Amino acid sequence: MSSTLSKVSKKVRKDEDTSKGLDNLEEQLKNGELHGGRGAKKLPGTKTVFYMRSGGEARLFFRYSDKEYSDKEKGAIEVIGESDKDNETRVIKNLKKNYE
Amino acid sequence: MKIESITFLSDLKDVKDIFDDNVDVAVKLDDGHEYIVVVATQKNLLTLMNNEKSDFLSPGDPMIIVRKLTKEVVEDAIQVYAENNGYYLKFYAAHFDIKTLNVLKDRKVARSKLLDELLEKGESIDIENYDLIDFNIKNL
């Protein structure tokens, strides 16, 4: 996670409800349950970035690993951002700038 | 309240069934603030419950319910929610920590109590210029 996005993640996790929501989404993502919460969406303007949304504030951004990774890791999922709704557009702008 | 912009935070082209999905939408009002609302279809509520394997939807922020997820319908709904100083748009997009929520409830109770007292005394109940700190919430 980039330095800017790490700071956003730290800030939004100060809210207990958001933090719990992010933990739940991460668990669901790990188990391949992409329909968890309000479901996953592809980030417009990118090919590999998606985000999951809790019923509350939590927004979890992730991507599927690409060819830069070894064959073993190919297809693995990497969490690249955590947000709440207040910071959602800011995080999306940042991710669009840094990921295809 | 005037809407400056409406931005869909995912592409509507990616929606497989316009009668069964939900999207995040960012709405910028002329007060300079941005509000994020979730817009969902009626059918999607059932899908979400099925996904949760539950007979009810787990607690979450309110969603604007529409018949179908098209740009026109979503924008029309948001225009209506932005009426009356954007009350319902702001309400649906609001998220407060529990302390703030408790303060807001206390303020509402104190406001009601003050109105009762003023009416009892036969005084003016024109109190809309009172700020939050003008209400005494210590002795509720």
Note the ipTM here: 0.86
Same domain, residue pair B75 and B106: no
CB pairs < 8 Å spanning A and B: 60
Same domain, residue pair B77 and B58: yes
Q: What is the DSSP letter of A38?
A: T
| A70 has a pLDDT exceeding 70 | no
The residue of chain A nearest to residue B33, with distances taken between CA atoms, is A86
| B137 has a pLDDT exceeding 80 | no
Q: Which two tokens stand for residue B50?
A: 């099925």
DSSP B56-116: SPPS---EEEESS--HHHHHHHHHHHTHHHHHHHHHHH----HHHHHHHHHHHHHHHHHHH
Residue B110: its pLDDT value, please? 84
The residue segments making up the domain with residue B79 are 3-93
B61 contacts A89? CB cut-off 8 A: no
Neighbours of A43 (CB within 10 A): 22
Same domain, residue pair B70 and B11: yes
Q: Tell whether B140 is covered by a domain.
A: no
Q: What is the gyration radius of the CA atoms in chain A, in angstroms? A: 13
A55 contacts B60? CB cut-off 8 A: yes
Q: What is the gyration radius of the CA atoms in chain B, in angstroms? A: 20
pTM, rounded to two decimals: 0.86
Q: Which two tokens stand for residue A75?
A: 């297809």
**What average pLDDT does the structure give for chain B?**
90
Report the SS3 class of residue B125.
Answer: coil
Please list every residue in chain B whose beta carbon sits closer than 8 Å to the beta carbon of residue A44.
8-11
A38 touches chain B (CB under 8 A): yes
Q: Where are the alpha helices (DSSP H) in chain A?
A: 3-12, 16-30, 88-98
Quick one: pLDDT band at residue B131, thresholds 50, 70, 90? low
Nearest to B14 among A42, A56, A86 (CB): A42
Same domain, residue pair B77 and B104: no
The distance of B134 to chain A (nearest Cα, Å) reads 28
Domains held by chain B: number: 2
Same domain, residue pair B13 and B39: yes
Residue A38: its pLDDT value, please? 92
Nearest to B34 among A16, A35, A89 (CB): A89
A40 touches chain B (CB under 8 A): no
Q: Quick one: how far is CA B124 from the chain centroid?
A: 31
Query: Residue range B23-35: average pLDDT?
Result: 95
